[in-house]
């Protein structure tokens, strides 16, 4: 009798002990205890490090995890992915919705000053920034053959990462889980969501509590994305009515793959008109240095209220450097090898995009040590976008993925900064409509802090299309307040 009681007490103690270990399971070695450049105290816990997804090849993916500043145990977990292919998700962390605003150093070569970002997405969610695929950002493989990859391999690798990550952070397994990303992540997000859902169907442990996904100015489909530019340019007043009519007559609804010489010459005229614009935000200058910026600004004839539409509301002008031209116009992502930015341009920088602050911060030895990233001797220098990888677009159009996921009850938000010319909203609006779902929330303005912030149309099966007025390609960078508003509402399952 006494022996049984002792055994029971022993088992209860054992149970309590192991539950305690489980609850405390976040790896303490990954805890970030100090952020070089930041004087304020961290408003929530941060963790970072590597997850090995292939032991034999030594394939390691780097993540930075920011706990929610509101209620980490209840708030959703969101995986964030930047695009490229080849661009690091620290783009999102440093320039878009990360926990800090980076103020460039006053002295050359010095560390930037970091301030807390009042519009960080960690205000309402736990968020994982992942460098993917291996070879991008701080992620790497010891076997170089891994740097030849594509959509399907990347989705499968990121799924493996998620399963391992949630094993390390089991206390977050029951939180609602979402996947989000931008630009080429318009491919990463639905292909990964598909892997996740297949895994759930097959009962692969741990079972992820997947709820839905978000794509911003995302690549989706060769036909729709390819045809998006001409109507965009016309609607924005960048090409004349005459030219628009001529292109329509000559190209017969195919604006990206000209089938006749006359069509080709009309399209060349369109390109000529658009040359010199900042492809990421047609209202912003695309300039080489601060001196040119001043001259351009002084000469601008637009009323200032209109100019301000495209201006970032971030408290610090982070991206001072804008240069060159960007992704060739009318070049939708096609099946096959997708050139990375640096491969396309034969240089290490992405045009019209500044990476100075991120590059100086993430290549600092002390910063790397503090955030548990490998040294330069192991992973090389951090680049915003790398040409280390050879990337094959092998998943085709994303429309079939979106149909499948939304018809199975996963919620989708497709949002577009409406002044982006890289992946214009006209393409995203057209492909979401083409799915043929019934409209349940007819085109209407949506508001943020009492002002119209853009327009939205809701379809059945929780598919929502949304524009962000006056925003460029990277929405949270241009419109941080508005972005946090629609993000919070979407995650909470509320109307936007």
Query: What is the DSSP pairing of strand 463-468 with strand 390-393?
Result: unpaired
CB 387 within 8 A of CB 124: no
The owner of tokens 């010199």 is 276
Distance (Å, whole) CA 140 – CA 134 = 5
**Least spacing, CB of residue 461 vs ligand NAG, in Å:** 5
**Least spacing, CB of residue 199 vs ligand NAG, in Å:** 10
**Least spacing, CB of residue 347 vs ligand NAG, in Å:** 29
**Least spacing, CB of residue 407 vs ligand NAG, in Å:** 5
Q: Which residues contact 132 (CB under 8 A, 6 or more apart)?
A: 61, 81, 89, 139, 154, 157, 158, 161, 188
**Least spacing, CB of residue 198 vs ligand NAG, in Å:** 5
Q: Which is nearer to ligand NAG, 264 or 434 (CB)?
A: 434
**Least spacing, CB of residue 429 vs ligand NAG, in Å:** 21
- Tokens at residue 402, please? 């979106």
Between the alpha carbon of residue 315 and those of residues 5, 108, 318, 327, the distances in Å are 64, 21, 9, 29
Q: Which is nearer to ligand NAG, 198 or 369 (CB)?
A: 198
* Strand ranges across the sheet with 390-393: 148-150, 390-393, 336-338
Q: Which is nearer to ligand NAG, 96 or 195 (CB)?
A: 195
Distance (Å, whole) CA 490 – CA 479 = 16
Q: Which is nearer to ligand NAG, 321 or 411 (CB)?
A: 411
* Active-site amino acid positions: 183, 420, 473
**Least spacing, CB of residue 462 vs ligand NAG, in Å:** 4
Residues that bind ligand NAG (CB under 6 A): 57, 143, 145, 198, 404, 407, 409, 411, 461-462, 493
**Least spacing, CB of residue 139 vs ligand NAG, in Å:** 16
**Least spacing, CB of residue 40 vs ligand NAG, in Å:** 35
In 10 A of CB 160, how many CB atoms?
18
Q: Which is nearer to ligand NAG, 319 or 411 (CB)?
A: 411
Q: Which is nearer to ligand NAG, 257 or 404 (CB)?
A: 404
Q: Which is nearer to ligand NAG, 203 or 237 (CB)?
A: 203
Q: Which is nearer to ligand NAG, 269 or 403 (CB)?
A: 403
CB 327 within 8 A of CB 352: no
- Closest C-alpha to 125, from 479, 486, 408: 486
Distance (Å, whole) CA 91 – CA 81 = 9
């Amino acid at each position: 009798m006494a022996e049984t009681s002792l055994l029971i007490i022993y088992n209860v103690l054992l149970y309590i002990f192991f539950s305690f270990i489980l609850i405390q399971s976040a790896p303490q070695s990954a805890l970030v205890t100090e952020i070089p450049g930041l004087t304020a105290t961290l408003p929530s816990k941060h963790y970072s490090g590597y997850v090995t997804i292939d032991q034999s090849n030594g394939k390691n993916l780097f993540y930075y995890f920011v706990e929610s500043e509101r209620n980490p145990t209840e708030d959703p977990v969101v995986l964030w992915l930047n695009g490229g292919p080849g661009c690091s998700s620290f783009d999102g962390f440093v320039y878009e919705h990360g926990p800090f605003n980076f103020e460039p150093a006053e002295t050359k070569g010095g560390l930037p000053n970091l301030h807390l970002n009042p519009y960080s997405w960690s205000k309402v969610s736990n968020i994982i920034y992942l460098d993917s695929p291996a070879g991008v950002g701080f992620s790497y493989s010891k076997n170089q053959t891994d740097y030849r990859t594509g959509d399907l391999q990347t989705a499968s690798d990121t799924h493996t990462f998620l399963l391992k990550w949630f094993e390390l952070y089991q206390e977050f397994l029951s939180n609602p889980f979402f996947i989000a990303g931008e630009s080429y992540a318009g491919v990463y997000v639905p292909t990964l969501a598909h892997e996740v859902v297949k895994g759930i169907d097959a009962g692969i442990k741990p079972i992820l509590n997947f709820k839905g996904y978000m794509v911003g100015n995302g690549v989706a489909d060769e036909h729709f994305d390819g045809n998006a530019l001409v109507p965009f340019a016309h609607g924005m007043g960048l090409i004349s009515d005459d030219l628009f009519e001529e292109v329509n007559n000559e190209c017969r609804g195919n604006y990206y793959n000209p089938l006749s010489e006359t069509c080709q010459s009309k399209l060349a005229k369109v390109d000529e008109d658009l040359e010199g614009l900042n492809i990421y935000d047609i209202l912003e200058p695309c300039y080489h240095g601060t001196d040119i910026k001043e001259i351009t600004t002084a000469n601008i004839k637009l009323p200032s209220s209109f100019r301000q539409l495209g201006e970032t509301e971030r408290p610090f002008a982070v991206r001072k450097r804008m240069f060159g031209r960007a992704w060739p116009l009318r070049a939708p992502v096609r099946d096959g090898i997708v050139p990375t930015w640096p491969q396309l341009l034969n240089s290490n920088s992405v045009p019209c995009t500044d990476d100075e602050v991120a590059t100086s911060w993430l290549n600092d030895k002390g910063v790397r040590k503090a955030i548990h990233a490998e040294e330069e001797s192991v992973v090389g220098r951090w680049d915003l976008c790398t040409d280390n990888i050879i990337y094959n677009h092998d998943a085709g159009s994303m429309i079939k993925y979106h149909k499948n996921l939304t018809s199975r009850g996963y919620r989708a938000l497709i949002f577009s900064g409406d002044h982006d010319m890289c992946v214009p909203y006209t393409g995203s609006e057209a492909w979401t409509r083409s799915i043929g779902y019934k409209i349940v929330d007819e085109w209407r303005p949506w508001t943020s802090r009492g002002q119209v912030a853009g327009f939205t149309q809701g379809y059945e099966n929780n598919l929502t299309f949304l524009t962000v007025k006056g925003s460029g390609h990277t929405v949270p960078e241009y419109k941080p307040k508005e972005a946090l508003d629609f993000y919070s509402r979407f995650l909470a399952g509320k109307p936007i």
